[in-house]
Amino acid sequence: MAKTVTARRVGGSIGVTLPKDMADSLGLKAGDTLTVLRTDQGVLLSPYDPAFEAGMRAFEEVNARYRNALRELASK
C-alpha cells in the first residue's frame, strides 16, 4: 500500500504524518516508537528496535540458564 505524505517542519526537525487508515492497519498509536533506517531504496520505518532485541536475547539466555531458580522465585 503506497501513500504520498508531505514533510513538514516540526520545531528544528522534519516530520511526516501517516494516514489514519495506514496507522490503523499497522496497529500504530500516538506515542509508539518507530526505528528509522536508511536503506539503498530510501527510508524504512519499523517498530523493530535493535537495543530491545539485544535486551531480549540477553533475557532469553539468562532465562534458559536459571529457569528453575526464576520459577522458584516467581512462586514466592
Query: Which residues constitute the domain of residue 43?
Result: 8-74
User: Considering only 13-17, 52-56, 65-69, which range has the smallest mean pLDDT?
Assistant: 52-56
In a domain, 50, yes or no: yes
In a domain, 2, yes or no: no
In a domain, 3, yes or no: no
- Going by C-alpha positions, the residue among 47, 50, 49 that lies closest to residue 18 is 47
Would you call 15 helix, strand, or coil by DSSP? Answer: strand
Domain count, the chain: 1
Which value, in Å, is the radius of gyration of the alpha carbons in the chain?
A: 19
| Residue 50 to residue 35: CA distance in whole angstroms | 9
In a domain, 1, yes or no: no
Length of the chain: 76
Give residue 26's pLDDT band: very low, low, confident or very high (50, 70, 90): confident
In a domain, 58, yes or no: yes
Q: What is the mean pLDDT of the chain?
A: 89
In a domain, 54, yes or no: yes
Q: Give the pLDDT of residue 44.
A: 87
What's at 58, amino acid-wise? A
